Amino acid sequence: MEGVGRRPFAFKETAISRLVLWNVDPTLVDAAQVTRSAYAEAFERATGTPLVYLAATAGRTDSEVFFEFFARNDVDIEPGEEPLAEFVQALADGFVRRRDQLPARARAAAGAAEALAAVAAMEDTVQTVVTGTIKPNAVAKLQAFGLDGYLDLSLGGFGSEGYPKASLIQFTRMRAAEARGAEFPERSTVYITDSVRDVEAAVIGRAAPIGVLSGSATESQLRAAGAEQVLEDLTDPRAVVGAVLKATDPPGTGIG
C-alpha cells in the first residue's frame, strides 16, 4: 500500500468513522517553482506552443489548469485532437526529471509533519489527500519531505482522475468506505485547505472545510466561502486536532 511505510500507527479494522482530507500544494508543500517549470515544458510538448500566459492554479485540477492555459495562450489545434492526455504524461515525465530540485526549490509547510502525525494518532481516523495535482507528482512532493508516511495515498483523490474537486471528495469518501469496510458519513469528513475554491468544493462535496492561511486567501475570504474554522498555520498540532474534532464530533459530546 502506498504511503504507509513510515506511519507511526496502525489503522483499526473496525469502528473507523472520521475521514480527514488534505490539500497538498501549498497547504502541506509549496512546490510552485518546480511545478511552474514542469507546466511550461509539458504544455509546449503537448501543443507545440510555448506557455506565455499563466493562469491561477489554486483549487484547480491539473486538467483544469491545462485548459485555462489553452484558452489564454490562443492555441490552435485540429478538430478532434485531444492534447490533454499528452500534457498529463509530459507533466509526469517533467516532474520526474525535477524531483531532485524539490529539497532546494520547494518546502514543507511549517508544522506539516507534526500536524499530520497528530491527526494520524487520533482514534477512528483515516487521513489522505484530495488534490488537483496528478498522482505521481503529488506523491513526489510529499515524499520529498517525508510526509507521505502519515497518509494512506491509496485512497486519495488526484488530478489524474479528471474530475472537479467536489467530485474527488465524494469519490475519496466512497473509496475509503470500501477499503476500510466502514462508513464515513458526510458529518465525519473534513477537508483542510488554503484555497477558496477548495472550501467551496468541500461545501459541495459535503465535507467540513477547515481553512489554513498558507496560501493567498485571507481569513475573511475563506470564511465567506464556507469555512467555519480557519487556522493561522499548521504549527500547533493541538489546534489542528481541535479543529478536526470540532468539525466532526456531534453537538453535545463536549469535545471541541
Predicted model pTM: 0.87
- What is the structure's pLDDT at 216? 86
Amino acid at 252: G
42-68 per-position pLDDT tens digit = 999 988 888 888 878 888 888 888 888
Neighbours of 105 (CB within 10 A): 15
N-to-C CA span, the chain: 33
Q: Are 238 and 227 in contact (CB under 8 A)?
A: no
134-169 per-position pLDDT tens digit = 999 999 999 999 999 999 999 999 998 888 999 999
Sign of CA dihedral 64, 66, 72, 78: negative
Tell me the C-alpha distance between 248 and 251, whole Å.
9
79-127 per-position pLDDT tens digit = 556 788 999 999 999 999 999 999 999 999 999 999 999 999 999 999 9
